Amino acid sequence: MICERAKRRHQRVLRHPQFALALLALMALPHIGGSGQLRSGDDQADHPTRFTVSGGAVLMPKGIFLFVRKGKSIGAVRFTSIDPGSNVGLGKATYESYFQKDGSKTFSDRSAVKRSGLIDMRPLVGIGDLAFQLGPNRVDIGPWSFGCVNPGLLDMWPYRGEQRDYGYEFAPTSARNVSELNSSDKRLQWFRFDPDASVTLQASELPK
């Protein structure tokens, strides 16, 4: 659940100019169903393939992995479906994630912790400070959890935590398959929580 206070914090993220433009573009496109197929029959290339790091969150394209690390531990997450609602802050998404505690093995290794889940952002129920979110809005990566205030949008601070830097680093990739991931690639661009950051990256130009 998400309370009204948390909602106001997330609204500040969503109002960031970069996110406002990116989210409106996402909502204007044909929805992507759980099967990964475009409902209108449009080609997948017509859909966003950019990462936007802005306002302390990452807006992710469907199907492409994002690295998350802290200390020696590292994870990877991607949204396997994104189904925006009629308004910003509503809609559904599914995700899968992988986690290695010490980062010494690949995510394809049997020791990797794999998780998957559903994001289902619904209209808030209640009034004022008593308003809350009934739908699941948390992305789990191993023992880590991050909020998701809009389908495809991942917070860069822990779920239900304060909006600040907790030492997590995030690196967008071009990888669509877990076997492609290479967290030691020196070309990766790592970002930490920064409410004033505003960066857009084309996924096809990123390392895996």
Tens-digit pLDDT profile for residues 171-189: 999 999 999 999 999 999 9
How do residues 63-116 score in pLDDT, each as one tens digit?
Answer: 999 999 999 999 999 999 999 888 878 899 999 999 999 888 889 888 999 999
Summarised one tens digit per residue, pLDDT across range 131-156 is 677 889 999 999 999 999 889 999 99
> Which residue shows structure tokens 């990123």?
206
Q: How many other C-beta atoms are found inside a 10 Å radius of the C-beta of residue 197?
A: 17
Place of tokens 């531990």: 73
Determine the Cα–Cα distance for residues 132 and 128; give it in Å rounded to an integer.
Answer: 9
51: three-class secondary structure by DSSP? strand
Tell me if 185 sits within 8 A of 208, measured CB to CB.
Answer: yes
pLDDT over 70 at 199, yes or no = yes
In this prediction, residue 48 has a pLDDT band, given cuts at 50, 70 and 90, of low
Cα–chain center distance at 94: 10
CA-wise closest residue to 173 among 182, 160, 164: 182
Backbone angles phi, psi at 147, to 5 degrees: -75, 160
Residue partners of 72: CB distance under 8 A and separation at least 6: 101, 102, 103
Burial bucket for residue 110 (CB in 10 Å: 0-12, 13-18, 19+): exposed
